Amino acid sequence: MKLKLAIAGLMIAIAPTLAHAEGDAVKGKKVFKKCKACHVADKEKNKVGPHLVGLFGRAAGSVEGYKYSKAMKAKAAEIGNWDEEHVMAYIANPKKYLGGKSKMTFKLKKEQQRKDVVAYLKSLAK
Ligand code: HEC
């Protein structure tokens, strides 16, 4: 009986981690199709948005020759380099994240898709 309770307790403890699975780069590649209209991730080429080569660890708002919005420049000065946490928050809702007018009008609402696309972008850097 005690053991059963212990197992039940363990399941409850593990369940939330299972629900929030880690990002999957293979799925993320598919999710990235949504970004492709505006971003290139494997070449240093700007489209509507700046290229995303080496995004993680790169200074926010720093692609040469790309004209960022004022809101992005202000936020970039505040956050410094992009990391997973900031990218996740940004792509969920750029306008809200920047607290001003973003040039990126796209929102990726599903958390799992955000994790997957982040995993994909990270996999490109290897
Ligand atoms: C409709 C076009 C569009 C789509 C779709 C789009 N973006 Fe963007 N993105 C932009 C623009 C424009 C900017 C520049 C934002 C600014 O200056 O305010 C940007 C900026 C960014 C930045 C900041 C880059 C830097 O140099 O600091 C990241 C990261 C980013 N986008 C990721 C994504 C991801 C990931 C997706 C797909 C899930 C995506 N974007 C989809 C247009 C888009």
Q: Please tell me if the CB atom of residue 118 comes closer than 6 angstroms to any atom of ligand 1.
A: no
Contacts of 43 (CB under 8 A, 6+ apart): 51, 53
Residue pair 15/106 in contact by the 8 Å Cβ criterion: no
Average pLDDT over residues 9-27: 73
| pLDDT tens digits along 65-111 | 999 999 999 999 999 999 999 999 999 999 999 999 999 999 999 99
Calculate mean pLDDT across residues 29-40: 98
**Ligand 1 proximity of 103 Cβ (cutoff 6 Å):** yes
Residues 6+ apart with CB under 8 A from 94: 102, 104, 105, 106, 107
Q: How close is the Cα of 68 to the center of ligand 1, in Å?
A: 10
Q: Residue of the nearest CA to atom 41 in ligand 1?
A: 35
Q: What is the pLDDT of residues 108-124, one digit of tens each?
A: 999 999 999 999 999 99
Using the predicted structure, report yes or no on whether residue 44 has a pLDDT greater than 70. Answer: yes
Residue with tokens 């970039």, as numbered in its chain: 76
- Euclidean distance between CA atoms 109 and 28, whole angstroms: 14
Averaged pLDDT score across all residues of the chain = 91
Ligand 1 touching residue 89 (CB < 6 A):
no
